[in-house]
């Protein structure tokens, strides 16, 4: 039976933080331009968050194995709160940059949340727990930009947006301090030894993480080129793009919700089904670039992405011994962070050749990722 109260609390904490994140990210380039930032400086400002997460998330996960999930959640949330306060007070570019750097370092607490879920949920139920995190992301990325659009439509500056984000971060911090309890099994376990290389050399984990990197590089590549696609080939304006992203956000929320309530017993089967749905959707959109196909693919693809995002971390968490959950989930989140750097760089460059070539290459890269998933499955079966 799922611990509904703890999962509801984790959902509320993450959703609150992601709403704040969604408020800031869409307007970050405009904020930087207010301080006469160059194109290169804006690029670094956008990228530094993911780069810092790439470095910090495995460390945060490992430290949570040693010092506890709740303690690391609180520390990381304090860092996020400070970064938003810096953003409110920013009057020069360098303060913006340090603010995003700090948030990247301490904002990798999703790995700690995933590790917390692995502590309180049995192995067979973990995809449903991971889906709760996906639901929080879906809700946050829908509400955040929507709320931001209202604030700016009313004529307020980015300072108010940053103030709202800071308030939401403070709310999440308070909820963690009041409602989160350290899992009993984590308190009682022995302190682990950090060994990043040994984790990657695990016969099954290495294959799964390689597939994870390839597949989510495709996901982030698609996300980064979607606005280019809609503007260049379909003539969408800002309002139409906002509507599209709202629909996709709701689709993610519904998809993750269906997994959270139903789940599935064959984890690898659900992983392959999800990857197949996502990659097939990309191909269809590349060869039939119409508005109708775009909205259909946006909804269908969300279900495929939800399956992969729920079942893959559960599979990876189930492979290793329980005392390294934080470290392992940190590496998992770190790979997502670096994919946010690699995917946009590669696929925005390819997109100048048109959607057919770009999305075909995306699908091929994704298929290679699925091959690695399959190799990981075989290794797990051979070790059983």
pLDDT at 298 over 90: no
Cβ burial of 30 (10 Å; 0-12, 13-18, 19+) is exposed
30 versus 38: the higher-pLDDT residue is: 38
pLDDT at 330 over 70: yes
Say if 363 falls within a structural domain. Answer: yes
Largest CA distance in the chain: 61
pLDDT at 373 over 90: yes
Identify the top-confidence range among 29-38, 108-117, 143-152, 276-285.
276-285
85 versus 233: the higher-pLDDT residue is: 85
pLDDT above 70 coverage of the chain, percent: 87
pTM of the model as a whole = 0.78
Give residue 14's pLDDT: 85
Q: How far is CA 137 from CA 58, 109, 250, 353, 376, in A?
A: 20, 13, 10, 32, 27
CATH number of the domain where residue 239 is located: 1.20.1250.20
User: Please, are residues 148 and 42 in contact by the beta-carbon 8 Å criterion?
Assistant: no
Say if 34 falls within a structural domain. Answer: yes
Say if 186 falls within a structural domain. Answer: no
**How confident is the prediction for the chain on average, in pLDDT?**
81
Question: Binning pLDDT at 50, 70 and 90, where does residue 38 land?
Answer: confident
pLDDT at 376 over 70: yes
Neighbours of 322 (CB within 10 A): 16
Three-state DSSP at 261 gives: helix
Count how many domains the chain has: 1
238-262 and 205-234 helices, crossing angle to 10°: 150
Say if 192 falls within a structural domain. Answer: no
116 versus 46: the higher-pLDDT residue is: 116
Q: What average pLDDT does this structure show over 245-267?
A: 73
Give residue 189's pLDDT: 53
Say if 278 falls within a structural domain. Answer: yes
Which of 123-132, 204-213, 294-303 shows the lowest per-residue confidence on average (mean pLDDT)?
Answer: 123-132
Say if 193 falls within a structural domain. Answer: no
Question: Binning pLDDT at 50, 70 and 90, where does residue 260 land?
Answer: low
Q: Which two tokens stand for residue 264?
A: 């599935």
Structural domain span for residue 275: 4-181+198-383
Place of tokens 């999800």: 274
Q: Which two tokens stand for residue 299?
A: 């909804």
Say if 61 falls within a structural domain. Answer: yes
Q: What average pLDDT does this structure show over 44-55?
A: 82
pLDDT at 1 over 60: no
Give residue 187's pLDDT: 53
Say if 148 falls within a structural domain. Answer: yes
Give residue 374's pLDDT: 95
């Amino acid at each position: 039976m799922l611990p509904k109260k703890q999962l509801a609390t984790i959902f509320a904490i993450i959703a609150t933080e992601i709403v704040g994140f969604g408020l800031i990210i869409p307007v970050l380039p405009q904020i930087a331009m207010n301080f006469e930032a160059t194109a290169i400086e804006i690029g670094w400002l956008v990228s530094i968050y993911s780069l810092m997460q790439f470095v910090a998330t495995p460390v945060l996960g490992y430290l949570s194995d040693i010092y506890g999930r709740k303690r690391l959640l609180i520390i990381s949330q304090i860092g996020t709160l400070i970064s938003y306060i810096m953003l409110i007070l920013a009057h020069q570019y360098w303060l913006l940059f340090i603010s995003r750097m700090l948030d990247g370092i301490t904002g990798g607490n999703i790995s700690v949340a995933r590790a917390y879920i692995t502590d309180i949920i049995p192995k067979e139920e973990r995809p449903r727990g991971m889906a709760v995190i996906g639901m929080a992301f879906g809700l946050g990325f829908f509400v955040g930009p929507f709320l931001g659009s209202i604030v700016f439509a009313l004529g307020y500056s980015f300072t108010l947006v940053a103030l709202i984000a800071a308030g939401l971060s403070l709310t999440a911090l308070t909820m963690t301090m009041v409602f989160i309890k350290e899992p009993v099994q984590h308190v009682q376990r022995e302190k682990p030894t950090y060994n990043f290389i040994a984790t990657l050399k695990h016969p099954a984990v290495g294959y799964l993480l390689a597939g994870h990197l390839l597949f989510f590089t495709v996901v982030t590549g698609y996300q980064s080129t979607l606005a280019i696609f809609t503007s260049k080939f379909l003539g969408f304006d800002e309002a139409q793009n906002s509507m599209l992203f709202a629909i996709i956000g709701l689709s993610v929320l519904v998809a993750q919700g269906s997994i959270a309530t139903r789940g599935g017993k064959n984890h690898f089967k659900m992983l392959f089904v999800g990857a197949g749905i996502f990659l097939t959707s990309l191909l269809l959109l590349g060869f039939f670039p119409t508005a109708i196909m775009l909205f259909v693919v946006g909804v269908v693809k969300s279900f495929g992405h939800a399956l992969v995002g729920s079942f893959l971390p559960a599979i990876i968490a189930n492979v290793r011994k329980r005392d390294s959950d934080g470290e392992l989930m940190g590496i998992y989140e770190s790979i997502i962070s670096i994919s946010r750097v690699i995917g946009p760089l590669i696929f925005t460059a390819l997109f100048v050749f048109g959607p057919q070539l770009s999305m075909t290459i995306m699908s091929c890269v994704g298929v290679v990722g699925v091959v690695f998933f399959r190799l990981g499955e075989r290794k797990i079966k051979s070790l059983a």
